[in-house]
């Protein structure tokens, strides 16, 4: 679980309400960035459905959000993003408990290695299945419910969906696919008042990156992001403050994709 959700979250605050009354379903929300998105959205007045394979972590987080808000605003559902029926159950749970669905955050993902030469075919398929098809299936399940009142779909891509990413063929292909799926769906779903945007984080401190050897010299701001910094963007996109934004791909990367960050002595 993220530092943000381990420490005092301020979730009991009632002075902020940027997404009051909205219902948000977040995939991969038992830990890492997804958990932070769930906390932030609940903190700002949303009802949140936490979907993940990790039942214990997900239930614990939902219980913690409910305890801290003193209200029944969080629900955990077991969700495998590669399974269309699992998505149907998650969307039905959101509608059954909270009466609708306004926000979908397609956040679940895995990070796999390998160039075209050495990536295993099974690993390629698994990465595309979770990181790209998972988004497609989530949207497919959510859109029929969102169509009546409109909504906001936030697809979590990566800077690997904005530039090439060495030794990450499947991951980069999936994350670029998310960008294409997002822009195309913005065209298709705009007439229903459903907005679709993609978020492209750079390096973020989460369990996914905990074991990686990372350097920050190429990042103008010189550090990784905290999960809450990404959640602040997700909150904006979930809220009506972003009501004229759709089809956008937004880098949130400390400047990592701004250009070639040559050393001064290079
Ligand atoms: N951490 C980073 O530096 C970084 C940078 C750019 C983009 N991202 C993306 O952000 C998203 C969240 O990453 P994170 O760093 O929080 O990762 P994480 O590994 O900490 O969390 C990912 C969550 O997704 C869940 N998940 C995996 N497969 C699933 C499936 N089939 N069904 C449902 N849930 C599943 C995991 O159980 C986990 O809770 C991912 O899409 C990732 O690619 C991460």
Q: Where are the domains of the chain?
A: 17-252
Neighbouring residues of 249: CB distance < 8 A, sequence distance ≥ 6: 157, 161, 162, 179, 182, 183, 197, 198, 200
Q: What is the pLDDT of residue 213?
A: 83
Residues 139-155: pLDDT tens digits? 999 999 999 999 999 99
Question: In the predicted model, what is the mean pLDDT of the chain?
Answer: 94
Nearest CA to ligand 1 atom 32: 80
Average pLDDT on 99-106 reads 98
pLDDT confidence of 266, banded at 50, 70, 90?
low
pLDDT at 15: 46
Ligand 1 centroid distance, CA of 37 (Å): 12
45-78 burial: b if 16+ Cβ within 10 Å, else e: bbbbbbbbbbeebbbbbbebbbebbeeebbbbbb
Q: Model-level pTM greater than 0.85? A: yes
- Ligand 1 centroid–CA 33 distance in Å is 7
- Give dist(CA 198, CA 132) in Å, integer: 12
Write the class of the CATH domain 17-252.
alpha beta
Structure confidence at residue 22 as a pLDDT band (50, 70, 90): very high
């Amino acid at each position: 679980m993220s530092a943000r959700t381990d420490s005092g979250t301020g979730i009991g605050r009632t002075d902020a309400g940027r997404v009051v009354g909205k219902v948000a379903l977040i995939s991969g929300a038992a830990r890492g960035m997804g958990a932070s998105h769930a906390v932030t959205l609940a903190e700002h007045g949303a009802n949140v459905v936490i979907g993940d394979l990790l039942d214990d972590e997900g239930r614990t987080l939902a219980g913690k959000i409910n305890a801290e808000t003193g209200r029944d605003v969080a629900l955990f559902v077991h969700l495998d993003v590669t399974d269309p029926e699992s998505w149907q159950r998650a969307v039905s749970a959101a509608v059954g408990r909270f009466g609708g669905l306004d926000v979908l955050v397609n956040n679940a993902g895995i990070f796999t290695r390998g160039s075209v030469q050495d990536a295993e075919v099974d690993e390629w398929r698994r990465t595309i299945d979770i990181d790209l098809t998972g988004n497609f299936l989530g949207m497919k399940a959510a859109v029929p419910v969102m169509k009546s009142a409109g909504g906001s779909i936030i697809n979590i891509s990566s800077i690997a969906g904005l530039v090439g990413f060495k030794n990450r063929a499947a991951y980069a292909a999936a994350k670029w696919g998310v960008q294409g799926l997002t822009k195309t769906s913005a065209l298709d779903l705009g007439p229903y008042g459903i907005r679709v945007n993609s978020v492209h984080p750079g390096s973020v401190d989460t369990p996914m990156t905990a074991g990686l050897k990372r350097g920050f010299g190429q990042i103008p701001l010189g550090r990784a992001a905290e999960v809450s910094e990404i959640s602040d963007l997700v909150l904006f996109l979930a809220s009506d403050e972003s009501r004229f934004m759709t089809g956008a791909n937004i880098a949130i990367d400390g400047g990592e994709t701004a250009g070639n960050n040559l050393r001064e002595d290079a």
